[in-house]
Amino acid sequence: MLTASLTTRTGDYLAALSRTYAGGDVKVTLLKKVGSIYVSTWSMDTEQTMDQSPPSLSLVDLNKDGSPEVYWNHVSYGVSVGGHYFTLYDSARKRLYSSAITEFYGGRRGDSIVEYAPALLEPANATFLSFIVGKVEKDDAFPQANAKDPYGDMIRAWTGKYGVINSGRVNFVAIKPVPASTTSLCNKDPGFETARLTAGGLTYVARHKDGVYVLDPKKKTCALIYFPEDVYQWVDQLKVVEGWIAMRNRTTGKYLYFDPKDMVLGTQIAR
């Protein structure tokens, strides 16, 4: 349960985000203190589990009328897009106001779409709009026309040159590993690393919702050698087969192979 409290000229208030069981949808509730206990004055099922990223919650009195507004924010991730949601409940007028950012994975931050509910654009809601805009524009997903995106640039560079190996139309592709956006992608990271293998003086690292990287400890370089067509089909097993590095797709169970000598990716081992 996540809670927030506020005291206004009309009393003491408490807001809560809660669920009745693990993995269940979240309910948002506003309570007012009556005597020594808090009594629910409003509640709503959000129809969201909010378990992919910690939500935020706050109580505010934006128009200083003594009736609080409940604000909450959460993120929902999908296969290729994600939504960042911002919601404000006006307890005085019993109205909801919302905004959202749609984020496209693998795209640049400038590609994100921002939407505001029409009710927020009403002149009487200028204070609420200003509050929501402040939250939206500080969010990491807010589009930035000139934002640097080294990780996205790396993925796009690899996919543009070698992504055809995921199409099923070819069996082999000659590659040149793409330098990683940061060498930390080759570091040991229990939270994101799904497989690690050292062979032939090189270390191969597979990452959660990411690709496979090769670390050359002598040259101190880290480079991307493979990225899946779907980030949910990350590699979960690495092993050596006839001198090739076998990379297993955790969803299909099929292997893709990398020849570190000739720098070739294949759907099979060349004989």
The pLDDT-based confidence of 151 (bands split at 50, 70, 90) is confident
Indicate if the pLDDT at residue 235 is higher than 80.
Answer: yes
Distances (CA, A) of 1 to 4, 63, 102, 206: 10, 27, 26, 35
What pLDDT was estimated at residue 156?
A: 87
3-state SS, one letter per residue, for the chain: CEEEEEEECCEEEEEEEECCCCCCCCEEEEEEEECCEEEEEEEEECCCCCCCCCCEEEEECCCCCCCCEEEEEEEEECCCEEEEEEEEEECCCCEEEEEEEEEECCCCHHHCEEEECHHHHCHHHHHHHHHHHHHHHCCCCCCCCCCCCHHHHHHHHHHHHHHHHHCCCCCEEECCCEECCCHHHHCCCCCCEEEEEEECCEEEEEECCCCEEEEECCCCEEEEEECCCCCCCCEEEEEEECCEEEEEECCCCCEEEEECCCCEEECCCCC
Mean pLDDT, the chain, whole residue set: 91
Residue with the two structure tokens 């099929």: 254
- pLDDT, tens digit, for every residue of 86-132? 999 999 999 999 999 988 765 555 567 899 999 999 999 999 999 99
Q: How far apart are CA 86 and CA 101, in angstroms?
A: 9
Distances (CA, A) of 34 to 30, 69, 88, 262: 13, 19, 24, 75
What pLDDT was estimated at residue 178?
A: 95
- pLDDT, tens digit, for every residue of 198-222? 999 999 999 999 999 999 999 999 9
- pLDDT, tens digit, for every residue of 161-192? 999 999 888 999 999 999 998 889 999 888 88
Phi, psi of 233 (to 5 degrees): -105, 50
What pLDDT was estimated at residue 78?
A: 67
Residue with the two structure tokens 């543009």: 160
In percent, the amount of the chain with pLDDT more than 90 equals 71
- Greater confidence (54 vs 125) lies with 125
- Greater confidence (241 vs 156) lies with 241
Indicate if the pLDDT at residue 258 is higher than 60.
Answer: yes
The pLDDT-based confidence of 153 (bands split at 50, 70, 90) is confident
Q: How far apart are CA 48 and CA 74, in angstroms?
A: 9
The pLDDT-based confidence of 152 (bands split at 50, 70, 90) is confident
What pLDDT was estimated at residue 271?
A: 76
Dihedral sign for Cα atoms in the order 57, 61, 66, 70: negative
